[in-house]
Chain A
Amino acid sequence: MTPKKKGSSAKEQDPAMVRVDRSADAGKVDQSTPLVPIIRTEDLSVSYGDFQAVEDVNLDFGKNEITALIGPSGCGKSTVLRSLNRMNDLIPTARVSGSVHYHGADLYSEKIDPIQVRRHIGMVFQKPNPFPKSIYDNIAYGPRVTDMKVDNMDDHVEQTLRRAALWDEVKDKLKNSAIGLSGGQQQRLCIARAIATNPDVLLMDEPCSALDPVATLRIEELMIELRENYSIIIVTHNMQQAARVSDRTAFFTVSIDEDSGDRTGRLVEFGATSHIFIDPSDKRTEDYISGRFG
């Protein structure tokens, strides 16, 4: 595990990163950069009924960093992501064991109110899912339902949309239905909606998979801007995207039990993105990233 120099070396070696000039600020982290965790999982395991989906995940998510979760389909990336803000509670069969530490609290302890958790740890979904309401009401929804102290909702909506780099595009049609926006705009609206309640962590589950490359780039730019104030955890199937935006990467895979044939998701490797993408410690990571697997 030799510490790598950041950015520039990555550019030369990884074809995935060459075209992207923003990789310099994306890879602000290298193996030697200390990680200040905002969320830490300990032996996190999730099962759906009898099916063990992921087992023993121990991960630290860095404050003001972008962490990418990658791995083949079905390895439990979404499952892990959902367990970080108790969205798994909405799936009746889901059972979580182990612990998720956030600001010194275990999110799965009895005393924790999952509603409050989601107010601090926001989520953006794979498919853009704006409410069939006006753009304004989409943004105002979170602050309203959480009784957030907002001096002037109009200002708050404007500031939120500005932070999500959407203001100029929608400022003249705030009262129009959000359904009329393009897919990419809808997804940025969903991001804006998620940050309207001032969470400090944003979970994103393949936020660009339904979007074209241009819209994808805009969201990536936005994520890098948002990293100043938020900690972001993103699931992606797009290796270039992980390389472009993330500071650290966690690689998961499905391990198949030889006797029972059970398929369980496991964390294989976690480290600085520059490290994982150039000099992974595990053969499986290398195979996956270079496209030989999954």
Chain B
Amino acid sequence: MATSKRTTMAVDAAKATTQKLYKSGVDIKGELFRAVLLLSIIVAVGMLGSLIAYVIWRGWDRLDWNLFVNNPSSIFLDTAGFAPAIVGTIYVMLGVLVTVVPIGVSAAIYLEEYADRTRWYNRLVEVNIQNLAAVPSIVFGILGLAFVVRGWLNLGFVAFAGSLTLAMMVLPTVIIASREAIRAVPPLIRQASYGLGATRWQTIRHNVLPAATPGIITGTILAMSRAIGETAPLLLVGATTFVLFTPESPFEGAYSAIPVQIFQWAARPQDEFRILAAAGAIVLLVLLLAMNSVAIWIRARLTKDT
């Protein structure tokens, strides 16, 4: 079959075009970059993973019922437990929740919906909230000691003092997260509400808050999960003692908290205590994981709905 010159040329041109579509060797820079990224992830996940693996390996045997129901003991090491610390953590965290949500959400509503940003005092508050979020937790511990345990409130070394101290610490987080959630409510929805003759408060109450609630809950849980693992500020406001009994209430009696108890035990030389500390760390990790999962789940549902 004779092919004319024109046809050959056309075929060659077509081939050349096709050639361009094929990969031209390996993209070395690109591959290298990918390898570096992968390595970073492996290091990060690896460190976390080995930490978790180590804690589980050390503490697994003591992860029994005794751990949850028994009091700490220096004598019966095999059956000693975390009970007061668990109750203490529950008290402390409940206290954080009931103080931080109303204050944080109200502050966020004020800043987003009412504050006139051209006023200097509103800008001052804004800047300060950003800064407060970056203050080291030990500073809140000192504040708590000075104003909550002693000073103005004079509560003494009780669980609620720990609550207020941690609440101060996570308040900026809750305010910032709530503001973001409130800001994310579409302006169209607000306009619709105002256009129907709703007042500002009605608009907030019926439209802004319901739409912002999942975001507020997510932010609150994340803030709580930060508070639940805090040790340093609690050490300053009373949770130092080796508590042998559950505190009577958030407002009376010495208290401890899970991370503080872990700290206590980890500092002791005997191996049994170290194992107990590892078991406690597992409990704390599971709690944290559960809280963060709920937060992620709520956020996922939120994005699915809209």
Contact = CB atoms under 8 A, between A and B. Distances in A.
A85 B196 contact: no
B196 A125 contact: no
Nearest to A196: B196
Contact of A129 (B116, B189, B206): B189
A83 interface: no
Interface stretch (A10-18, A113-121, A243-251): A113-121
B195 A141 contact: no
A234 interface: no
Contacts of B189: 129, 131-132
Nearest to A85: B195
Contacts of B127: none
B35 interface: no
B188 A142 contact: no
Interface in B264-306: 305-306
A119 B197 contact: yes
A92 B202 CA distance: 20
A100 interface: no
Contact of A142 (B197, B199, B305, B306): B197
Contacts of B193: 131, 141, 145
B197 A115 contact: yes
B206 A141 contact: yes
Interface string B31-49: 0000000000000000000
Interface string A157-185: 00000000000000000000000000000
Interface in B191-243: 191-199, 202, 206-207, 211
A122 B196 contact: yes
Contacts of B306: 132
A29 interface: no
A131 B192 contact: yes
Given A129-B189, A131-B189, A132-B211, A146 B196 contact: yes
Contacts of A1: none
Interface residues of B, number: 20
Nearest to B196: A142
A194 B189 CA distance: 13
B191 A90 contact: yes
Contact of A125 (B191, B198, B305): B191
Contact of A141 (B188, B191, B196): B196
Contacts of A125: 188, 191-192, 195
Contacts of B197: 115-116, 118-119, 142, 145-146, 197
Contacts of A122: 195-196
A145 B205 CA distance: 11
Contacts of B305: 132
A130 B195 CA distance: 12
A197 B196 contact: yes
Nearest to A177: B305
B196 A194 contact: yes
B204 to A, nearest CB: 12
Contacts of B206: 141, 145
Given A131-B207, A132-B211, A145 B196 contact: yes
Contacts of A39: none
Candidate in A119, A125, A130, A132 with the most chain B CB atoms within 10 angstroms: A132
A248 B207 CA distance: 36
A28 interface: no
Interface string A107-143: 0000000011011001101010111100000000110
B187 to A, nearest CB: 9
Contacts of B188: 125, 127, 129
Given A129-B189, A131-B207, A90 B199 contact: no
Interface string B136-163: 0000000000000000000000000000
A129 B192 contact: yes
Given A131-B207, A132-B211, A141-B206, A87 B192 contact: no
Contacts of B202: 145
Interface string A61-87: 000000000000000000000000101
A275 interface: no
A118 B207 contact: no
B115 to A, nearest CB: 11
Nearest to A128: B188
A146 B194 CA distance: 11
Contact of A87 (B194, B199, B207): B194
Interface of B: 116, 186, 188-199, 202, 206-207, 211, 305-306
Given A87-B195, A123-B195, A125-B195, 17 more contacts: A87-B191, A115-B197, A115-B198, A119-B197, A122-B195, A122-B196, A125-B188, A129-B188, A131-B207, A132-B189, A141-B198, A145-B193, A145-B196, A190-B192, A193-B192, A194-B195, A194-B196
Interface of A: 85, 87, 90, 92, 115-116, 118-119, 122-123, 125, 127, 129-132, 141-142, 145-146, 190, 193-194, 197
18 contacts: A87-B194, A90-B190, A90-B194, A118-B197, A122-B196, A125-B192, A129-B192, A130-B192, A131-B189, A131-B207, A132-B189, A132-B305, A141-B198, A142-B198, A145-B197, A146-B197, A197-B196, A197-B197
Question: Which 3 residue pairs across A and B have the least CB separation, nearest first?
Answer: A119-B197, A123-B195, A129-B188
